[in-house]
Amino acid sequence: MSTRTLERRRRRAATRWAALAASPRPVVYIGMGSCGLAAGAAAVLAAVRAHLAERAIDAEIVSVGCIGPCYLEPIFDVQLPGRPRVSYSNMTAELAVKTLDALLAGEAPRRHLIGRFDAADGDGHFAPGDADLAGLPRFLDHAMLRHQTRIVLRNCGVIDPEQLDHYLARGGYRAFESCLEMPWSDVIETVKASGLRGRGGAGFPTWLKWSKCREIDNDARNLICNADEGDPGAFMNRSLIEGDPHALLEGMLIAAYAIGAAHGYIYIRAEYPLAVRRLRSAIAAMSKLGLLGEHILGSDFSFDITLKEGAGAFVCGEETALIASIEGRRGMPRTRPPYPAVSGLWGRPTIIDNVETLATLPAIIGGGAEWYASHGTEASKGTKTFALVGKVRRTGLIEVPFGTTLRTVIYDIGGGLTKDFKAVQTGGPSGGCLSEEFLDTPIEYENLAAAGSIMGSGGLIVLDRDTCIVDTARYFLSFTQAESCGKCVPCRVGTGHLVGILDAICEGRGELADLERLERLARVIKASSLCGLGQTAPNPVLSSLKYFREEFVEHIVDKRCRAAVCRDLVVYRVLPERCTGCERCVAVCPTGAITGPRSEPHNLDPEKCIKCRSCYEVCRFDAIAGDAIVIESRGQSDA
Amino acid sequence: MAAARSRLRSAAGPAAPDPWPTIMREFEGRPADLVPVLQRTQEAFGYLSPDSVRRVARWLKLSESDVFGVATFYAQFRFSPPGRHRLRVCLGTACHVKGGVQMLETLERRLAVEAGQTTPDGEYDLERVVCLGCCALAPVVTVDDAIYGQMSVLRLQGLLDEHAHA
C-alpha cells in the first residue's frame, strides 16, 4: 500500500468516525477492558443487546477499552441521535437497561451519571450538546479526570481497540509516515528534544540508548517491546494495550525506523490474555494494510513484529533475562556490558523499550518535541501513567504530567482515603514506602530516587493506618525472594535472610539488633547483586526502616502491631456491650471458637480461634450484628 | 484456558486425535522455540508429562534436563494433570493489603489443599498468582475464566457454595 492509499483509507475512516458521532441510530459504548469485564461488563453488554433487540431498536454497540476510573466500572455510554455521548457508572444489567430506557424516553437520569462528552473533547469528534443535556456535567470534569493530562492514553476508552479505522480516524500512523520522510537521525533528534526517558522505571534517556545502538556497525538490529509488566499492583501497560494497541505498534514502527531494526518482538505476560488477543488482531490488521513487511508504504524500510508470550517469571522484566527467555533459555540475567544495545538478542544490537515509552512516540512525533516537552518538569518531561490503587477512594489508571505532587494524585485525583494516610508505595517491589512528609514532593525520577524509592513503571499503592508497614516490607521481600532467579548469591541467599528476619519481627520473635542486621544485609545485597532485581530488592525494607522505624521497634519491643495485621500479634475479641447475640458469627466460625446462647453476648475462645476473619466480617456487614468483634493488638483496647 | 480444558476433555475420549502432529507443524523445531513449544504442549495436554518432555527434547535436539530446566524455571508450567476447575487467588500488592491472604487461607481450609495443589477428587486446582492486573477491584479471586472482585471471606464462601451446587 502506498502513502496515498493509506491517506484515502484514513479519510474514509475519519468520515465514518465523524458519522458515528452524528449517527442517526443510538450508539452504546461499553468499557470492555479487563477491569470492566471483571466488574461485570459482559453481563451489561448482553442485557443491553437483548433489550435493544426486544424493543426492535436499531442501535450500534461499540466496545471500548478502559477510560481510567476502574472503580466506576462497568461504565457504559449512550449517544442518542443529535445528542452528546453520556456516560454512566457502576452498571448492572438491570440498571443499564433502565438507564437506556429513560434516555430513550427523553429523560436524562442523574443516578450513576458520570458526565457527557461534548464537541470540545476528543478532536471535535463528539457532537455538540443539545439544550436538554447541556446542563449535565462534562465527563472530563469528573474529579478523577480533571487533573489529568491524557497524552498516551488519549484513545483509551474512546475508540474501539479492535478497529484500526478508529485509530486511523484519529490521525493514526500519520506520525510514522512523517518519520519516513525524514532521515532516521532526525527522529532520534526529535525524541532527544522531547526529553523522553524510559518509562519502564529506570528513566534512561530513550534517544541516548537508541543512538548507542545505531553506532554499532551491524544492520541486523532488533527492537523489543517489554510488556512483561510484572510488578504486583501495576496494570498501566495492560490497560494501554487493551485500549489502544495501535499506539504501541505505531511507536514500534517509529523506534524501529530510528534505530534501523528489521525485526521487532513484543514480550508480553501470558497472564494478560485479552491484551495478547488485542495485539494479535491489531498486528494482523496492520499487516493487511501493508504497515508491516517489506518496503513499508513503498519506502526502503522493512519491519516485522513477533509476539512472544512470557511464561511467568518476574525477572524477565530485566532486559538480559528477557533476551535469554526469547532465545528459549531460562530467563536469567547476565553481566553487562556488553549492553543489549551493543550485543543483545542473538548477539545483535537490540533496543528494549517499555510499552509506555513506545506508545508515547506517535504523540511526540505528531505533536512535536517542543509541545511534548512543555509538559512536566525540566528533568522529567512529559506525562506518566500510574495505576492508582490501594486504600484510595477512586482507583484506576491515570496519566499526569511529571511534577504533579503525590498529594494531588492521592487526594485530588484519588479522592483521598477513608482512614488516616500512612504511606504511598511507588515502584513496586523495587521501590519503597514514602511517608506523609513526601506528599508535596513533585513526582520526578530524581525526587523519588532521592527519597529512597523509585519511579518504577507506575504502580502507586496507597496504604492507610490499617496497613502494617513491617508486613508490607515482608510481602515485597517474599515476592522478590521467590522471583530471584538464583544465579547470584547476594540475591538468592540474601533476600532469603531478609525475609527470615522480617518473619521473626512480624511473629514477635524479633530483637532490636535485627534492625541493624536488616540494614547491613540490605546494603550488601544492593551493592553486590548481578541485576536490577537484586540491586533494588532491599528498597522496601530500607525505605520502611528509614521512615517507619518506630513500627519495627513496636513489633520487637512491645510485641504490638498497630495496624492489627500481623497475625501472631493480634487477638480477636467480642465486645460484650456491643454484641447483640445474633449468632451470625457462631454460624460462620469454622472452628467453633465462638459460642453463646442467642441474645446474649457471645464468647470467643482464643485457643480455638484461627483468626480467619469470618466473624469479623459478618459482624461488620450484617445489619443485625453490632460491630462487636474487634481485631486488636496490644495497647489497643478500643480499636 | 477454558478452550484448552475442553480440548483436554475431548482428548480423553476414545477417538481423540493425537495432538503432536499439529503441534509439530506449528514450529520450525529450533531450540529457540522451546518456550512456545512447551506452552503449546501444555495447552494441548493440560500439563507437561515426562513423556511430553521427552518428545519435546528429541524434537528440538535438546537434552531432557535442558527442557526440564527451562520448564521448571517458569511459573506457568505444571507437571501434574490439572483439576477440572482452576481457582486463583491474586496476591498482588493491592490484593495483599486488602486481605488476599485471608482469601487464600479460606480456600485452603475449605478445599483441604495448599496453594499449588489439586483437590484429591480432581475438582479444583488452587493457585496463588501475583497480580492479575485488576488491582482496582482488590481482593480478586478467579474461577476458571471468571474474575470476582472485591471479595471477602463470606462472599468467597458463598461463591464456593454456589459453585459446588452448580
The residues, ordered by sequence, that sit 6+ positions from A255 with a Cβ below 8 Å of its Cβ are A210, A223, A261, A351, A353, A358, A361
Inside any domain, residue A184? yes
A49 & A133 share domain = yes
- Which residues lie across from A31 on neighbouring strands? A64
Tell whether A500 is within 8 A of chain B (Cβ).
no
* Nearest beta carbon to residue B154 from set A233, A475, A588: A588
Inter-chain residue contact A38 with B134, CB threshold 8 Å: yes
For chain B, positions 33-72, list CB contacts with chain A under 8 A: 33-36, 38-39, 69-70
| Residue B67 clears pLDDT 90, i.e. is over it | yes
The residues, ordered by sequence, that sit 6+ positions from A77 with a Cβ below 8 Å of its Cβ are A28, A29, A30, A85, A86, A87, A88, A117
Q: What is the mean pLDDT of residues A446-469?
A: 92
A194 & A253 share domain = yes
Which residues in A lie closer than 8 A to residue B33 (C-beta atoms)?
Answer: 328
Q: What is the mean pLDDT of residues A131-137?
A: 69
Which residues in A lie closer than 8 A to residue B106 (C-beta atoms)?
Answer: 612, 614
A240 & A340 share domain = yes
Q: What is the pLDDT of residues A359-375, one digit of tens each?
A: 999 999 999 999 999 99
Q: What is the mean pLDDT of residues A466-473?
A: 95
B66 & B92 share domain = no
Q: Residue A119 — very low, low, confident or very high, per pLDDT cuts 50/70/90?
A: low
Q: What is the pLDDT of residues B14-52, one digit of tens each?
A: 557 899 999 999 999 999 999 999 999 999 999 999 999
Q: What is the mean pLDDT of residues A32-47?
A: 91
A192 & A239 share domain = yes
CB A341 within 8 Å of CB A216: yes
From A115-119, A524-528, A554-558, the region with the lowest mean pLDDT: A115-119
Tell whether A456 is within 8 A of chain B (Cβ).
no
Domain boundary residue, one of B49, B73, B97? B73
With CA atoms as reference, the chain B residue closest to A72 would be B136
| Residue A9 clears pLDDT 80, i.e. is over it | yes
In this predicted complex, what is the ipTM? 0.89
- pLDDT, residue A391, reads 92
A 10 A CB-CB count for A94 gives 11
The residues, ordered by sequence, that sit 6+ positions from A55 with a Cβ below 8 Å of its Cβ are none
| Residue A84 clears pLDDT 90, i.e. is over it | no
Inside any domain, residue A377? no
Inter-chain residue contact B154 with A617, CB threshold 8 Å: yes
- pLDDT, residue B5, reads 47
Inter-chain residue contact B96 with A425, CB threshold 8 Å: no
Which residues in A lie closer than 8 A to residue B73 (C-beta atoms)?
Answer: 313, 330-332, 485
Please say whether the dihedral angle defined by the alpha carbons of residues B107, B113, B116 and B118, taken in this order, is positive or negative: negative
Inter-chain residue contact B97 with A461, CB threshold 8 Å: yes
CATH code for the domain in which residue B90 is found:
3.40.30.10
Query: Rounded mean pLDDT of chain A?
Result: 93
B129 & B149 share domain = yes
CA gap B64, B56 in Å, rounded: 8
Inter-chain residue contact A271 with B129, CB threshold 8 Å: yes
Domain boundary residue, one of B73, B101, B134? B73
For chain A, positions 564-593, list CB contacts with chain B under 8 A: 588, 590
Whole-angstrom distance between the N-terminal and C-terminal Cα of chain B?
20
A454 & A479 share domain = no
A512 & A603 share domain = no
Inter-chain residue contact A389 with B73, CB threshold 8 Å: no
Q: What is the pLDDT of residues A271-284, one digit of tens each?
A: 888 999 999 999 99
Q: Please state the three-class secondary structure of A91-140 as a single string.
A: CCHHHHHHHHHHHHCCCCCCCCEEEECCCCCCCCCCCCCCHHHHCCCEHH
CB A155 within 8 Å of CB A173: no
B102 & B160 share domain = yes
Inside any domain, residue B129? yes
Inside any domain, residue B28? yes
With CA atoms as reference, the chain B residue closest to A325 would be B35
B45 & B11 share domain = yes
Tell whether B2 is within 8 A of chain A (Cβ).
no
Inside any domain, residue A358? yes
* Nearest beta carbon to residue A387 from set B36, B135, B147: B135
For chain A, positions 301-330, list CB contacts with chain B under 8 A: 308-314, 325-330
| Residue A447 clears pLDDT 90, i.e. is over it | yes
Inside any domain, residue B78? no
Which residues in B lie closer than 8 A to residue A241 (C-beta atoms)?
Answer: none
Which of A572, A617, A621 to mutate: most B Cβ within 10 Å? A617
Q: What is the mean pLDDT of residues B69-85?
A: 95
- pLDDT, residue A121, reads 62
Three-state DSSP class for residue A63: strand
Inside any domain, residue B64? yes
Tell whether A34 is within 8 A of chain B (Cβ).
yes
Which of B34, B73, B141 to mutate: most A Cβ within 10 Å? B73
With CA atoms as reference, the chain B residue closest to A234 would be B133
Which of B5, B33, B35, B103 to mutate: most A Cβ within 10 Å? B35
Inside any domain, residue B79? no
| Residue A590 clears pLDDT 50, i.e. is over it | yes
The residues, ordered by sequence, that sit 6+ positions from A636 with a Cβ below 8 Å of its Cβ are A560, A562, A564
A473 & A458 share domain = no
Which residues in B lie closer than 8 A to residue A479 (C-beta atoms)?
Answer: 130
Inside any domain, residue A507? yes
Domain boundary residue, one of A526, A558, A590? A558
Domain boundary residue, one of B22, B53, B73? B73
Q: What is the pLDDT of residues A146-203, one digit of tens each?
A: 999 999 999 999 899 999 999 999 999 999 999 999 999 999 999 999 999 999 888 9
Q: Which amino acid is at A550?
A: E
- Considering only CA atoms, which of A178, A462, A364, A185 is closest in space to residue B93? A462
- pLDDT, residue B2, reads 44
| Residue B7 clears pLDDT 50, i.e. is over it | no
Inter-chain residue contact B102 with A613, CB threshold 8 Å: yes
- pLDDT, residue A369, reads 97
CB A152 within 8 Å of CB A399: yes
The answer, yes or no, to whether the previous bond of A338 is cis (omega within 30 of 0) is yes
Range of the domain at B94: 85-165
Inside any domain, residue A378? no
| Residue A474 clears pLDDT 50, i.e. is over it | yes
CATH code for the domain in which residue A216 is found:
3.40.50.11540
- pLDDT, residue B4, reads 47
Inside any domain, residue B149? yes
CATH code for the domain in which residue B64 is found:
1.10.10
Inside any domain, residue B16? yes
Inside any domain, residue B59? yes
CA gap A380, A398 in Å, rounded: 17
- pLDDT, residue A7, reads 94
For chain A, positions 510-569, list CB contacts with chain B under 8 A: none
Domain boundary residue, one of A143, A177, A209? A143
Q: Residue A120 — very low, low, confident or very high, per pLDDT cuts 50/70/90?
A: low
Residue A612 main-chain phi, psi, to 5 deg: -90, -10
B144 & B96 share domain = yes
A127 & A246 share domain = no
Inside any domain, residue A148? no
B90 & B152 share domain = yes
Inside any domain, residue A157? no
A604 & A553 share domain = no
B89 & B55 share domain = no
With CA atoms as reference, the chain A residue closest to B102 would be A612
Domain boundary residue, one of A558, A586, A617? A558
Instruction: State how many domains chain A has.
Output: 5
Distance from CA of A402 to the nearest CA of B (A): 23
For chains A and B, count residue pairs whose Cβ atoms are closer than 8 Å. 146
- pLDDT, residue A142, reads 92
Q: Residue A636 — very low, low, confident or very high, per pLDDT cuts 50/70/90?
A: low
A172 & A309 share domain = yes
Tell whether A486 is within 8 A of chain B (Cβ).
no
CA gap A255, A249 in Å, rounded: 10
Distance from CA of B14 to the nearest CA of A (A): 31
- pLDDT, residue B1, reads 42
Tell whether A427 is within 8 A of chain B (Cβ).
no
Instruction: State how many domains chain B has.
Output: 2
Which of A229, A329, A539 to mutate: most B Cβ within 10 Å? A329
Inside any domain, residue A5? no
A530 & A608 share domain = no
Range of the domain at A513: 469-558
Q: What is the pLDDT of residues A530-572, one digit of tens each?
A: 999 999 999 999 999 999 999 999 999 999 999 999 999 999 9
| Residue A231 clears pLDDT 80, i.e. is over it | yes
Angle at A107 between CA A102 and CA A109, to 5 degrees: 70
Tell whether B107 is within 8 A of chain A (Cβ).
no
CATH code for the domain in which residue A122 is found:
3.40.30.10
CA gap B92, A429 in Å, rounded: 10
A96 & A127 share domain = yes
